[in-house]
Amino acid sequence: MLSIKNLHASIEDKPILRGLDLEVKPGEVHAIMGPNGSGKSTLSYVLAGKDDYEVTEGSATLDGQDLFALAADERAAAGLFLAFQYPLEIPGVATMTFLKAAVNAQRRARGEGDLPTPQFMKLVREKADGLGISSDMLKRGLNVGFSGGEKKRNEILQMALLEPKLCVLDETDSGLDIDALKVVSEGVNALRAKDRAFVVITHYQRLLDHIAPDVVHVMAKGRIVRTGGPELAHELEARGYADYVGEAAA
Amino acid sequence: MNAEVRSIRTAAETALSEIFASAFAGLPGDAAVAERRRTAFDAFKTAGLPSRRVEDWKYTDLRALMRDAKPVAGAPDGVMIAAARGALAPYAAIDATRVTFVNGRFVEELSDLATAEGVSVTLLKDTLATGAGVEALSDGVSPVGNVAVALNTAFVADGVVVSVAPGVTASRPLHVANIQAGSEHAAYGRVVARVGEGGNVLLIESHIGDAGAHQTNSVVTLDVADGARAELVKIQDESLDTLHLATLAVRLGAKAELKTFALAAGARAARQQIYVSFTGDASTAEIRGAGFAGASRHLDTTLVVEHDAVGCASREHFKTALDGEARSVFQGKIVVKPGAQKTDGKMMAQALLLSEAAEADAKPELEIFADDVVCGHGATVGALDDELLFYLKSRGIPQKEAEALMVQAFVGEVIETIEHEGLRELVTHRALAWLTART
Ligand SMILES: Nc1ncnc2c1ncn2[C@@H]1O[C@H](COP(=O)(O)OP(=O)(O)OP(=O)(O)O)[C@@H](O)[C@H]1O
Ligand SMILES: [Mg+2]
């Protein structure tokens, strides 16, 4: 589904991703772990199409489609979703208005008509209820006055509404209390499907207790330096990254 | 040779003199009004059209912007009236006493003169013919010699004189609708409003034009007595080939309240002058506006708020979104006269540049002659935040649509302060239409 080959990307001429390879098949959940600054968020932004980064080498395809040939909104319409590590606040754009704009933009990109408002409202209410997002929050400016945990839940709500093929979750567990972690994980698990894949970036095993990964990767200095099964996450939890930082540097 | 030698007249100045000479006899008013017109026109002739060398017009060079002078429009024909009827359609849902002018001429069939109890509405041309004409033409607030006001005084053909009796809250708003139809003419209109002690009224002023090249000059004077409240919502949606000059002059008594909102959505070049004077203690004024301009349009907001009383508060907030090579000008001044203690004044002008070539000039000023005051001003000019745009795009929202959402959010802050729901929706719709036309 997602195929990344020898990806190099830099920001302001500073190389961040340095030959990254990653293959994700439909239905799989991949976890990416790695020290701070190793380039995990950079990878997610490069995939999503943030302008600040320059791809200097390599390729990334989603179901065979060259992601780098598409604008950010086209990548989203092609089925890519990024749950931001730090979701942004947009005062004045009501959450509901934003959700509707996003859902309808993607429908239009697929050649479908806009979802009738009552149907859309019903859908949002249904999904929002499951994530503990109140109708008051939906009326507020996007993420404005939302707690850290509420912002993360809002990301999952967007994911649930947009039904992407590939979901990249960048530290969705950070800032969540124990109950919220459960709610968010259930939200994610509810979306697991044989034709949908997840790349879950996290520092902690506790998220992976809820969202069981099929594959765990260690990222260091802009590359995937080790790949293993779920047991790798436990090993990292116990031993830290010291080994990998050295290995990548070598 | 000094370029400022006034014997060299521009084509527009020469034409204005000719038009005045030929129109003068036909303009309404008694002998005193005629004298007043002549004095006003003489003042204009002496000064001429202001160029950028005149401080107050530094950013809006009227001599350059006004390339010709169009003749004062005659009575509209059937085609024009039909067009005007169409232009009024968006207002149909807004219940109001409606006085409609097409090309500056009153059109009864498009008006609804039924007034709320305690509210009187008279056509200015009738007032000008009575002894009260000269008084109606003197606002006492806008700066003496202001060229836009002087030309309006000289040429004004009609308008509305409205009076709200003391203690009366008008149960219906008053809508003064100005529609430009046809092309190549000038319309001069004036609204003279007085809200008696403890009175309360909502005034709606609209300027609409679909096509055609026009020149409009409008003056609104508002006298808000002690304990009274006036709200004014102005919608400027002139054709994109119109030169729109507008002046709002407000005098506030004690414990009075003013709330104004001005939308600038149209015109090739528009200058909105607002002069507010606090003459009684403990009054408040909220003065806001939103503007949109693309292509090489020019939008000027010139504002002077004069605090000459104790304990008054003023809030000014203007937001403009600019595209193409459009330019906005904000000149705002808060003046605190000696003795105007406990003045609380805050002014903010914000411009959003949606293109590289758009330009916003802001000149906020404070002139404070009292020591116990809290005053502040700010101005921001910036582009849309790329990080926020990326967030929206990452959800599948295309660039232009993402920009539209953010511009809506930007101007929404001031549009949302319009209390009348129907008007708020109308203004929101207009903003949306502009944004949709960009995409
Ligand atoms: N805008 C930028 N300008 C310069 N350097 C940047 C910029 N953004 C990221 N970097 C650098 O790129 C490197 C990778 O950052 P990134 O955010 O991808 O790391 P991360 O693995 O997500 O870290 P964390 O675990 O802390 O979230 C860091 O050294 C960071 O300082
Ligand atoms: Mg990160």
Show residues of chain B in contact with A73, CB under 8 Å. Answer: 393-399, 402
Whether A38 is in the pocket of ligand 1, judged by its Cβ within 6 Å, is: yes
- What is the per-residue pLDDT for B340? 97
Å between B420 CA and nearest CA of chain A: 19
Determine if ligand 1 sits within 6 Å of the CB of residue A51. Answer: no
Q: Distance from the CA of A42 to the center of ligand 1, in angstroms?
A: 6
B399 vs A73, A98, A158: nearest CB: A73
Question: Which parts of chain A register pLDDT below 50?
Answer: 248-250
B interface with A, Cβ–Cβ below 8 Å: 386-388, 390-399, 401-402, 405-406, 408-410, 412-413
CB atoms B396 and A105 under 8 Å:
yes
Give me the domain span that covers residue A172.
Answer: 2-249
Chain A interface residues facing chain B, Cβ-Cβ under 8 Å?
48-51, 71-73, 75-77, 81-82, 84, 87-88, 90-93, 97-98, 101-102, 105-106, 109, 141, 158, 162
Residue of A nearest to B411 (CA): A92
Three-state SS string over chain B comes to: CCCCCCCCCCHHHHHHHHHHHHHHHHCCCCHHHHHHHHHHHHHHHHHCCCCCCCHHHCCCCHHHHCCCCCCECCCCCHHHHHHHHHHHHHHCCCCCEEEEEECCEECHHHCECCCCCCEEEEEHHHHHCCCCHHHHCCCCCCCCCCHHHHHHHHHCCEEEEEEECCCCECCCCEEEEEEECCCCEEEEEEEEEEECCCCEEEEEEEEEECCCEEEEEEEEEEEECCCCEEEEEEEEECCCEEEEEEEEEEEECCCCEEEEEEEECCCCEEEEEEEEEECCCCCEEEEEEEEEECCCCEEEEEEEEEECCCCCEEEEEEEEEECCCCEEEEEEEEEECCCCCCCEEEEEEEEEECCCCCEEEEEEEEEECCCCCEEEEEEEEECCCHHHHHHHHCCCCCHHHHHHHHHHHHHHHHHCCCCCHHHHHHHHHHHHHHHHHHC
Ligand 2: centre distance to CA A33 (Å): 10
Count of domains observed in chain A: 1
Residue of minimum CA distance from atom 18 in ligand 1: A39
- Separation in Å, CA of B404 to nearest CA in chain A: 10
Pick from A72, A97, A101: which is nearest to B390 by CB? A72
Sequence letter at residue B336: V
What tens digit of pLDDT does each residue of B213-253 get? Answer: 999 999 999 999 999 999 999 999 999 999 999 999 999 99
- Beta carbons within 8 Å of B200's beta carbon, 6+ residues apart: B164, B168, B169, B170, B228, B229, B230
Do B213 and B185 meet the contact criterion of CB atoms below 8 Å apart?
no
Q: Which residues contact A36 (CB under 8 A, 6 or more apart)?
A: none
Give the global pTM.
0.89
pLDDT in tens, chain B (439 residues): 444 555 568 999 999 999 999 999 999 999 999 999 999 999 999 999 999 999 999 999 999 999 999 999 989 999 999 999 999 999 999 999 999 999 999 999 999 998 889 999 999 999 999 989 999 998 788 888 899 999 999 999 999 999 999 999 999 999 999 999 999 999 999 999 999 999 999 999 999 998 899 999 999 999 999 999 999 999 999 999 999 999 999 999 999 999 999 999 999 999 999 999 999 999 999 999 999 999 999 999 999 999 999 999 999 999 999 999 999 999 999 999 999 999 999 999 999 999 999 999 999 999 999 999 999 999 999 999 999 999 999 999 999 999 999 999 999 999 999 999 999 999 999 999 999 888 6
For the Cβ of A11 lying below 6 angstroms from any atom of ligand 1, the answer is yes
Return the CATH number at A212: 3.40.50.300
Of B386, B397, B412, the CB nearest to A101: B397
Give A248→chain B minimum CA distance, Å. Answer: 31
Given an 8 Å threshold on Cβ–Cβ distance, is B409 in contact with A93?
yes
Which residues of B are less than 8 Å from A102 in CB distance?
392, 395-397
User: Which ligand has the minimum distance to the alpha carbon of residue A34?
Assistant: 1
Instruction: Kindly provide the ipTM of the predicted complex, given to two decimals.
Output: 0.95
Cβ of residue A42 lying under 6 Å from some atom of ligand 1? yes
pLDDT in tens, B323-369: 999 999 999 999 999 999 999 999 999 999 999 999 999 999 999 99
The verdict on the CB of residue A185 being under 6 Å from ligand 1 is no
Question: Which of ligand 1's atoms lies nearest the C-alpha of A44?
Answer: 18
Domain range list for chain B: 73-385, 386-439
